[in-house]
């Protein structure tokens, strides 16, 4: 049996510039961190050696890989040409909540099956391999940030170049700054799990408009502003940059926000948050805020009155890992 543990991510600024519609013309960039919430993938030999069993939110037992309904499992298992195997997944956070769960699944599965096959793979290889599965083979209307974040782990500036190259630059900050940043970040679950595909398809189409394209350029500029704020320990600037990014992001596609989300956001800022955003493509899931510690009780109280539950987490640094191998 082999078990992999692959983190989910929180994207701070720059999301949307990792879509091909943007970065094939101009360099895109995001700044994100992985957190201590994970996708676990386990594989072992299946008792019926001529079948494949996959367990996720459903259980499939099939005679041939082409019969699998789960598109990522079907595509990746076909790549490895494996039979007589059982694959199971467990996640700390459900899908459709804006933390890159689909790509964490893909990265974790690739990492696991590579090890199961007796091969090695690098972090860049994991990121590139997951992008190949999701973008090239499955034609998902998504970007590249989630795959590389999950593979590498940590607090990173990730750049997407027109030639297809992806650069991952760790953000080097002091232990004090990291601890303070972690303490001042607050997550709230607002419900409404959703697929990002519809919003991302609209955003891709809208990127052809000069106004939307230029908006993404402003969001990319904020990535480097945020990097400077972090490396200089100017954490109060972190909140204001998040706020600027959120105001820009709302204009990219119609489904990113709604009156309910706007109400959550305004209420948190009135109670003391300095800035924030909705995670993922939009529509629901988790909201992130930068809240100085002495304001957090007040923000917790007003958010709970709106049925938004605080969600505890810590930043992590390791990326996708193999945590168990047993022959």
Tokens of 170: 């760790």
Q: Looking at the structure, do residues 278 and 303 belong to the same domain, yes or no?
A: yes
| pLDDT of the residue at 206 | 55
3-state secondary structure 157-184: EEEECCCCCEEEEECCCCHHHHHHHHHH
203 and 124 assigned to the same domain: no
pLDDT confidence tier of residue 94, bands split at 50, 70 and 90? confident
12 and 161 share one domain: yes
Q: What is the CATH number of the domain that holds 240?
A: 3.30.70.890
**Angle ∠(273,94,127) on CA atoms, nearest 5:** 90
Measured over the CA atoms of residue 102, residue 59, residue 44 and residue 78, the dihedral's sign is negative
- Window from 232-236, 256-260, 263-267, 292-296 with minimum mean pLDDT: 256-260
Q: With bands split at pLDDT 50, 70 and 90, how would you rate the model's confidence at 327? A: confident
Residue 122 has pLDDT above 80, yes or no: yes
* φ, ψ dihedrals at 244, nearest 5°: -60, -40
- Regarding whether 134 and 267 lie in a shared domain, the answer is no
- Same-domain pairing of 310 and 300: yes
**Residue 244 domain boundaries:** 175-314
Q: What was the pLDDT predicted at 239?
A: 94
Query: 3-state class of 280 per DSSP?
Result: coil
Domain count along the chain: 2
* 29 lies in the same domain as 88: yes
Q: What is the 3-state secondary structure of 209-223?
A: CHHHHHHHHHHHHHH
Whether 294 and 223 map to the same domain: the answer is yes
Q: Tell whether pTM > 0.85.
A: yes
pLDDT band with cut points at 50, 70 and 90 for residue 258:
confident
pLDDT at residue 208 greater than cutoff 60: no
pLDDT band at 233 (very low <50, low <70, confident <90, very high): very high
Instruction: Tell me the per-residue pLDDT of 58-81, one tens digit each, with 9 for 90 and over.
Output: 999 999 999 999 999 999 999 998
**pLDDT at residue 204 is higher than 70:** no
Q: What share of the chain is helix, strand, coil (3-state, %, to 5)?
A: 45, 25, 30
pLDDT at residue 200 in the model: 52
Backbone angles phi, psi at 54, to 5 degrees: -125, 130
Read off the pLDDT of residues 171-195 as tens digits, 9 standing for 90 and up: 999 999 999 999 999 999 988 655 4
Residues 55 and 185 grouped into a single domain: no
The predicted model gives 273-292 an average pLDDT of: 86
- pLDDT, mean over the chain: 91
Query: Do 229 and 165 share a structural domain?
Result: no
Helix (H, G, I), strand (E, B) or coil at 253: coil
| Residue 210 pLDDT > 70 | yes
- Average pLDDT of 81-92? 94
For the segment 115-143, the average pLDDT, to the nearest whole number, is 95
Residue 283 banded pLDDT, cuts 50, 70, 90: low
Encoded tokens for 63: 């005679």
Residues 93 and 238 in one domain: no
Which CATH number is 93's domain given?
3.30.230.10
Residue 303 has pLDDT above 80, yes or no: yes
């Amino acid at each position: 049996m082999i078990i992999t543990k692959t983190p989910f991510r929180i994207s701070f600024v720059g999301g949307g510039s990792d879509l091909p519609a943007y970065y094939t013309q101009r360099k895109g960039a995001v700044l994100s961190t992985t957190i201590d919430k994970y996708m676990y993938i386990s594989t072992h030999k299946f008792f019926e050696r001529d079948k494949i069993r996959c367990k996720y939110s459903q259980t499939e037992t099939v005679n041939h890989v082409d019969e699998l309904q789960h598109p990522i499992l079907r595509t990746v298992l076909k790549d490895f040409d494996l039979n007589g195997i059982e694959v199971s997944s467990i996640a700390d956070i459900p899908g459709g909540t804006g933390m890159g769960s689909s790509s964490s699944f893909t990265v974790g599965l690739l990492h696991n099956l590579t090890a199961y096959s007796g091969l090695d793979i690098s972090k860049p290889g994991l990121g590139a391999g997951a992008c190949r599965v999701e973008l090239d083979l499955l034609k998902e209307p998504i970007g590249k940030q989630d795959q590389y974040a999950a593979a590498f782990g940590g607090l990173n500036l990730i750049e997407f170049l027109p030639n297809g190259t992806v650069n991952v630059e760790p953000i080097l900050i002091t232990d004090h700054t990291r601890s303070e940043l972690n303490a001042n970040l607050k997550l709230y679950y607002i419900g409404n799990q959703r697929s990002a595909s519809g919003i991302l398809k609209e955003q891709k189409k809208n990127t052809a408009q000069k106004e939307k394209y230029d908006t993404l350029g402003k969001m990319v500029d904020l990535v480097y502003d945020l990097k400077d704020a972090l490396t200089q320990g100017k954490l109060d600037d972190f909140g204001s940059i998040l706020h600027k990014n959120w105001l820009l992001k709302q204009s990219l596609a119609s489904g990113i926000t709604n009156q309910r989300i706007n109400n959550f956001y305004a209420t948190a800022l009135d109670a003391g948050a300095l800035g924030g955003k909705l995670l993922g493509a939009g529509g629901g899931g988790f909201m992130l805020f930068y809240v100085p510690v002495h304001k957090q009780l007040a923000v917790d109280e007003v958010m709970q009155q709106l049925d938004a539950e605080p969600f505890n987490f810590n930043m992590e640094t390791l990326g996708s890992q193999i945590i168990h191998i047993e022959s």
